[in-house]
Chains A and B, each alone.
Chain A
């Protein structure tokens, strides 16, 4: 079957249709349950991380290596020619001539789109500033479908820094493709940007604003926590933004037994580690799912034929 993803870029959740997303979920599920033995052997994948990363970079590397691909790239911009003044466009154009696919993380918003214009090779956005983190959103969706079976009808609380978190922005966009109810819990100055709220209104997604987890804890099926993005705040803001929402065991007493907690990690002031041993904690499963989603994307973007059985 012809693969509609072949040689495409993945820059933003807005680039994906519901059918595209279902295809990625099916491929990831078959990889997770070892239904297929796929390969991208012979392909060189460039991992270009202009900004620090642990989970995203290493899970992309693990995904590449597990599929038989090779890795070139860098984990920071300290030793590359952008330090000499080379443009991002030229850097990516050259890297694209060495590799079969380019993965990019960059502190500036829109950098991944610019990178995709610079090279004919497929580009995956691994996070561009406070804008998008589409592969994280796919992991989040996959994880919720694993633990709650179906996205439709769920009540989901998004907690923490909703303004600067690219994971939240991408997640809201993917969640809005389903029939969900959103509870937005954040300090007023870190609330979800207006342009995303406007999209929610246009799509008819119900949402409300809250200032404390206790207000919504007994109503939700998923709590998605997110740390304060200190690296994107102005210096003067930092003092008052330290851990405004810490999820603790006493708060969870009011939660539904089926409720699950997600967090893209690192958790900095989001959850008490004592929660790790409760059935509510699902963030480490979420992180582990990064491998099969990223494997699925590499397979889909590099194979002419659809790798999954539909």
Chain B
């Protein structure tokens, strides 16, 4: 199946944000990352859609919500190849996002011995990229983790 047919199978939106080319399996993590489960915007989720670029991809369409730069930046941690399009009256504007240098109160520290698991404190991770690998280092316990090890705080 071509990518064009896939696009047609998911209805276009008039206003909002489309996050495309999400690595397969990451859509639900992005929903948590952006807190979309708590917003009341209409959300369309596409899973395991064929993609020339990725083989299979996920896709999110959020109606009437325009992703801020800081939110777009967060997405690059979990989905570095994702494309983010802001739609206003069917006119598409593509956002180019860069990795943030640090990220607060979004992820749980995977180190169970970390103080953040027992104290009421926001987690803070510094973010670094080495080639294709993105690592997050906990400001408190100083442990570094691959992005795929990270769990989003719910």
Contact = CB atoms under 8 A, between A and B. Distances in A.
A12 interface: yes
Nearest to B139: A113
B113 interface: yes
Contacts of B142: 12, 14, 109-110, 131-132
A130 B121 CA distance: 20
Contacts, number: 56
B147 to A, nearest CB: 14
Contacts of A132: 142
A89 B121 contact: yes
Interface residues of B, number: 18
Interface in A113-167: 113-114, 128-132
B11 to A, nearest CB: 45
A111 interface: yes
A109 B120 contact: no
**For this complex, into which size category does the number of interface residues on chain A fall?**
20 to 34
B45 interface: no
A237 interface: no
Interface of B, helix, strand, loop or mixed by DSSP:
loop
B113 A130 contact: yes
B140 interface: yes
Contact of A109 (B121, B137, B141, B144): B141
Contact of A108 (B114, B137, B139, B143): B114
Interface of B: 111, 113-121, 137-144
Given A110-B138, A132-B142, A195-B137, 13 more contacts: A14-B142, A88-B119, A108-B113, A109-B111, A109-B113, A109-B114, A109-B141, A109-B142, A110-B140, A113-B115, A114-B140, A128-B115, A130-B113
22 contacts: A87-B120, A88-B119, A89-B119, A108-B118, A108-B119, A109-B113, A109-B142, A109-B143, A110-B115, A110-B139, A110-B141, A110-B142, A111-B115, A113-B115, A114-B115, A114-B119, A114-B140, A128-B115, A128-B141, A129-B113, A195-B137, A232-B113
